[in-house]
Amino acid sequence: MNMTAADIFSSIEKIRAQAPLVHNITNYVVMNTTANALLAIGASPVMAHAADEVEEMVSLSGALVINIGTLSPDWVEAMLYAARKAKELGRPVVFDPVGTGATTYRTGVAREILEEVSPEIIRGNASEIMALAGCRASTKGVDSTAASDSALDAARELNSRYGSVVSVSGEIDHIVDHTRVARVSNGHPMMTRVTGMGCCATALSGAFACVQEPFVAASMAMALMGVAGELAVQESGGPGSLQLHFFDVLYRITLDDIGRLLKVEVTA
Amino acid sequence: MNMTAADIFSSIEKIRAQAPLVHNITNYVVMNTTANALLAIGASPVMAHAADEVEEMVSLSGALVINIGTLSPDWVEAMLYAARKAKELGRPVVFDPVGTGATTYRTGVAREILEEVSPEIIRGNASEIMALAGCRASTKGVDSTAASDSALDAARELNSRYGSVVSVSGEIDHIVDHTRVARVSNGHPMMTRVTGMGCCATALSGAFACVQEPFVAASMAMALMGVAGELAVQESGGPGSLQLHFFDVLYRITLDDIGRLLKVEVTA
Amino acid sequence: MNMTAADIFSSIEKIRAQAPLVHNITNYVVMNTTANALLAIGASPVMAHAADEVEEMVSLSGALVINIGTLSPDWVEAMLYAARKAKELGRPVVFDPVGTGATTYRTGVAREILEEVSPEIIRGNASEIMALAGCRASTKGVDSTAASDSALDAARELNSRYGSVVSVSGEIDHIVDHTRVARVSNGHPMMTRVTGMGCCATALSGAFACVQEPFVAASMAMALMGVAGELAVQESGGPGSLQLHFFDVLYRITLDDIGRLLKVEVTA
């Protein structure tokens, strides 16, 4: 099995045609950014976190994205309500354990979410994935201090415990399920100087999960992030212009763009 | 009666000269965006939502903008405190019923706000306006699935019930009061791929409402959105650059810019 | 004593090399903006406000930045928890009293924070600093209506009461401690048309406070803001593009850039 540019572009065309609603319960820092990324690729984002409406909102949605970047108890409660409803309805749940390992509270919440809802996709950096699996890993705030491949065992462990596809971002992204590993070698270091790029990867995983099974969706999201990031960096004089060119590229990306740059390898 | 480029530009000059304070209780996704739009046009935005200060803040302000995009019970309570105070002081209230129709909670809150405070201006898309009036309309999250003119009867119904000017955005924007309809044919489809453009229309309606009566204010805001959007699209390679060029255009827009592009028609 | 471009650039190089974690408990409007400013200069931002984790998060951090732009009681409580912990651990606290003077609640909270934690740096505009010191000053929302030098006495008063370095932004920025005043004459009026520029000054003060003593840190932050703002304006057609070019400039600023433009004067 492999993943071609045509596979990815055909999924993007499905997203553009169907404009699936993606329900996000995410952090304050990146809400604007991930909404713009979802709109640019052709999805329809909604941000809603009131306990009184999250179950109804998720029932209208093609996927649920939860992200604990700026968590607090009432938001976590809403995430759990929404995620349980999503599971009940068979909608994919994508979980971003931002900053797991940095504080006891954050790690505890992340594990509670895993135990309660077994998300279809977990998308984090190496430090977060290792902390989530219980490895001794060092996290500095929300930025990873470990390389992506050092988290491969942790990713496999989380997959075997919760059945989740685990998507570990880094210089090389690794996407793991029980039989396969996808390695995406696209991207650019300047992307780490823009806040919310990891959260965009998570949100786009949600968009792809509306039109593809979780492993393929998670891999396509990372490939698109990397290719679009490389294209955007070419036009950018720094991280400020990178952020906006990234949205422009998502909006107008072509099969040829992906074909020229794609570096993905899937092994069994 | 008609609305000329000179009328609109003269109101913009008033905003630039007076820099009216516009108090926003709005959603997390767009706060940065609407603050920047208000600053770019020359107004002075303030975002404040604590129950302990909203009444005092609104008393310093020229207009109040409330927007339920990411509502929760305590924010709704603050909106009601602020809006009642604004009505008491005779300050215009602009209400954006984001996502009304999507969930029972959201629709209920939107109607409660209408009943309690009869806003001077209601600004929403066709789905939201129809849901607000009790029509059977389909909303997908926060994006409209209906054309603007299909909401004209709903807009008239809301106007007759609450006395509010109703501003329905779409390919053609319709602004309705009890005797007049303004039709604005400016704008560009790429604007729907930037989050918060509708919320900017609402915020700018608040800025114009500091210097004009509600029907004129709502019409001028939609005309400015459309003209500035068209100008910004000309410089933009996608929705990322559109957002920032939109602010640049608001900041430097001239009478000539508006005169060249304006397509507004007011009928009795 | 004076402050040269080489001094400032050498501190920027320290920030880039150490990537200090800066813990922000700040307002919803600017979170994305200040996170991007901190990333662009080479620091590692984290935003976390849950009472359950702020003490642990601050203990991982090089500095704490608190900003009351969109305050509410639970956020203020978290600010106090975090700030007390920072003091206990000897980490610098930078406080931005956004909108102090506009409402009784806001002014009360700002003074409570001063009394409880004596921040190493207070960074505000003239209206805020004067209101904080108890002068009769007029604030219109969150924008200053007074010139920076009119707040010098208030700044000295706050310094003598709390020991804080007081950084007053304006056309000329004044940074005051008990023996020195730094005057920074850099910057550009268009910066006042971008939301969150003051908050970026506060956040960057936090980054510099990880590698310098408070007076020097606060002065360097204002100098960098001004120089980077001037450079960014040169490439910008308005405040929308200014915001992104500002991040680009922070990311790639050189010793020569600072040397060409720097206008800072330190007097005893």
Low-confidence ranges of chain B (pLDDT < 70): 1, 136-146, 148
Q: Where do we find the tokens 């003598």?
A: C160
Q: Is the pLDDT of residue A145 over 80?
A: no
Interface membership of C189 toward B (CB under 8 Å):
no
Q: Taking a C-beta distance cutoff of 8 angstroms, is the pair A140, A132 a contact?
A: no
Give the pLDDT score at B268.
86
Judged by phi (left if over 0) then psi (alpha if -120 to 50, else beta), residue A244 lies in alpha
Give the pLDDT score at B139.
60
Give the pLDDT score at B163.
98
What are the chain A neighbours of B29 within 8 Å (beta carbons)? 31-32, 35, 47
User: Residue A78: which of A34, A20, A158, A23 has the closest Cα?
Assistant: A23
Length of chain C: 268
Q: What is the DSSP-derived secondary structure letter of residue B168?
A: E
8 Å CB contact of A69 and C47: yes
8 Å CB contact of B44 and C141: yes
Distance in angstroms between the alpha carbons of the first and the last residue of chain B: 8
In angstroms, rounded to a whole number, what is the distance separating the alpha carbons of residues B240 and B21? 28
Residue among C19, C35, C53 minimizing CB distance to A106: C53
Q: Which residues on neighbouring strands pair with residue A266, listed in sequence order?
A: A182
Q: Taking a C-beta distance cutoff of 8 angstroms, is the pair A15, A41 a contact?
A: yes
Residue among A32, A143, A238 minimizing CB distance to C251: A238
pTM of the model: 0.96
Query: For residue B233, what is the nearest residue in chain A, using CA coordinates?
Result: A248
Subunits next to C (3 or more Cβ pairs <8 Å) are A, B
Distance from CA of C205 to the nearest CA of B (A): 21
Q: Taking a C-beta distance cutoff of 8 angstroms, is the pair B92, B206 a contact?
A: yes
Tokens read off for A11: 């999924």
User: Residue B111: which of B99, B93, B125, B97 has the closest Cα?
Assistant: B97
Three-state SS across chain C? CCCCHHHHHHHHHHHHHHCCEEEEECCCCCHHHHHHHHHHHCCEEEECCCCCCHHHHHHCCCEEEEECCCCCHHHHHHHHHHHHHHHHHCCCEEEECCCECCEHHHHHHHHHHHHHHCCCEEEEEHHHHHHHCCCCCCEECCEECCCHHHHHHHHHHHHHHHCCEEEEECCCEEEECCCCEEEECCCCHHHHHCCCHHHHHHHHHHHHHCCCCHHHHHHHHHHHHHHHHHHHHHCCCCHHHHHHHHHHHHHHCCHHHHHHHCCEEEEC
What are the chain A neighbours of B240 within 8 Å (beta carbons)? 36, 40, 243-248, 251
Cα dihedral value A124, A126, A128, A131, nearest 10: 140
Query: For residue B54, what is the nearest residue in chain C, using CA coordinates?
Result: C103
Interface probe, candidates C21, C34, C46, chain A, greatest A C-beta count within 10 A? C46
What are the chain C neighbours of A192 within 8 Å (beta carbons)? 39
Interface probe, candidates B200, B210, B248, B250, chain C, greatest C C-beta count within 10 A? B248
8 Å CB contact of C60 and A102: yes
Give the pLDDT score at A197.
97
Cβ density class B39-51: b for 16+ within 10 Å, e for less: bbbbbbbbbbbbb
Subunits next to B (3 or more Cβ pairs <8 Å) are A, C
What are the chain A neighbours of B69 within 8 Å (beta carbons)? 47
Q: What ipTM was predicted for this assembly?
A: 0.95
| Domains in chain C with CATH codes | 5-267 (3.40.1190.20)
Give the pLDDT score at C145.
64
Give the pLDDT score at B172.
96
Tokens read off for A56: 């109804």
* Arithmetic mean of pLDDT over chain A: 95
Interface membership of A32 toward C (CB under 8 Å):
yes
pLDDT, tens digit, for every residue of A219-253? 999 999 999 999 999 999 999 999 999 999 999 99
What are the chain B neighbours of A248 within 8 Å (beta carbons)? 236-241
Give the pLDDT score at B140.
64
Q: CB within 8 A of C260, min separation 6: which ones? A: none
Burial of A184 per CB tally in 10 Å (0-12, 13-18, 19+): buried
Q: Taking a C-beta distance cutoff of 8 angstroms, is the pair C34, A28 a contact?
A: no
Interface membership of A195 toward B (CB under 8 Å):
no
Interface membership of A47 toward B (CB under 8 Å):
yes
In angstroms, rounded to a whole number, what is the distance separating the alpha carbons of residues A217 and A197? 17
Query: For residue A104, what is the nearest residue in chain C, using CA coordinates?
Result: C53
Interface of B with A in 12-31 (CB under 8 A): 27-30
8 Å CB contact of B73 and A50: yes
Share of chain A above pLDDT 70, in %: 95
8 Å CB contact of A47 and B28: yes
In angstroms, rounded to a whole number, what is the distance separating the alpha carbons of residues C121 and C217? 9
8 Å CB contact of C72 and B61: no
In angstroms, rounded to a whole number, what is the distance separating the alpha carbons of residues C66 and A75? 21
Give the pLDDT score at C149.
74
Give the pLDDT score at C127.
95
Q: Is the pLDDT of residue C243 over 90?
A: yes
* Arithmetic mean of pLDDT over chain C: 95
Query: For residue C50, what is the nearest residue in chain A, using CA coordinates?
Result: A72
pLDDT, tens digit, for every residue of C84-97? 999 999 999 999 99
Give the pLDDT score at A135.
81
What are the chain A neighbours of C21 within 8 Å (beta carbons)? 140-141
Interface probe, candidates C23, C25, C33, C52, chain A, greatest A C-beta count within 10 A? C52
What are the chain C neighbours of A143 within 8 Å (beta carbons)? 19, 44
Residue among A71, A73, A195 minimizing CB distance to C35: A195
Three-state SS across B10-43? HHHHHHHHHCCEEEEECCCCCHHHHHHHHHHHCC
Residue among B21, B35, B252 minimizing CB distance to C29: B35
Tell me the three state secondary structure of residue B138.
Answer: coil
Evaluate the CA torsion angle A144, A147, A149, A153 in order and state its sign.
negative
Q: CB within 8 A of C209, min separation 6: which ones? A: C62, C63, C92, C94, C120, C121, C217, C218
In angstroms, rounded to a whole number, what is the distance separating the alpha carbons of residues A218 and A209? 7
Cα separations in angstroms, C27 against A110, B150, C31, C64, C212: 24, 39, 6, 14, 25
Interface membership of A257 toward B (CB under 8 Å):
no
Residue among B44, B57, B61 minimizing CB distance to C143: B44
8 Å CB contact of C239 and B249: no
Distance from CA of C91 to the nearest CA of B (A): 29
Give the pLDDT score at A268.
86
Q: How many CB pairs under 8 A join A and C?
A: 107
8 Å CB contact of C193 and B39: yes
Give the pLDDT score at A71.
98
Q: What is the DSSP-derived secondary structure letter of residue B64?
A: E
Interface membership of A99 toward B (CB under 8 Å):
no
Q: Quick one: average pLDDT of C237-266? A: 98
What are the chain B neighbours of C30 within 8 Å (beta carbons)? 32
Give the pLDDT score at B149.
74
Interface probe, candidates A24, A27, A30, A53, chain B, greatest B C-beta count within 10 A? A53
- How many other β-carbons are positioned within 10 Å of the β-carbon of residue C102? 25
Distance from CA of B14 to the nearest CA of A (A): 30
Distance from CA of A241 to the nearest CA of C (A): 6
Interface membership of B32 toward A (CB under 8 Å):
yes
- Could you give the residue ranges of the DSSP H alpha helices within chain A? 5-18, 31-41, 54-59, 73-89, 104-117, 126-132, 152-162, 197-209, 214-234, 239-252, 255-261
8 Å CB contact of B247 and C239: yes
Determine the longest span between alpha carbons in chain B, in angstroms: 47
Interface membership of B145 toward A (CB under 8 Å):
no
Distance from CA of B195 to the nearest CA of A (A): 6
Distance from CA of B49 to the nearest CA of C (A): 7
Residue among B27, B102, B192 minimizing CB distance to A60: B102
- How many other β-carbons are positioned within 10 Å of the β-carbon of residue A163? 13
Q: Quick one: average pLDDT of C257-262? A: 98
pLDDT, tens digit, for every residue of C126-182? 999 999 999 865 566 666 667 767 899 999 999 999 999 999 999 999 999 999 999
Interface membership of B206 toward C (CB under 8 Å):
no
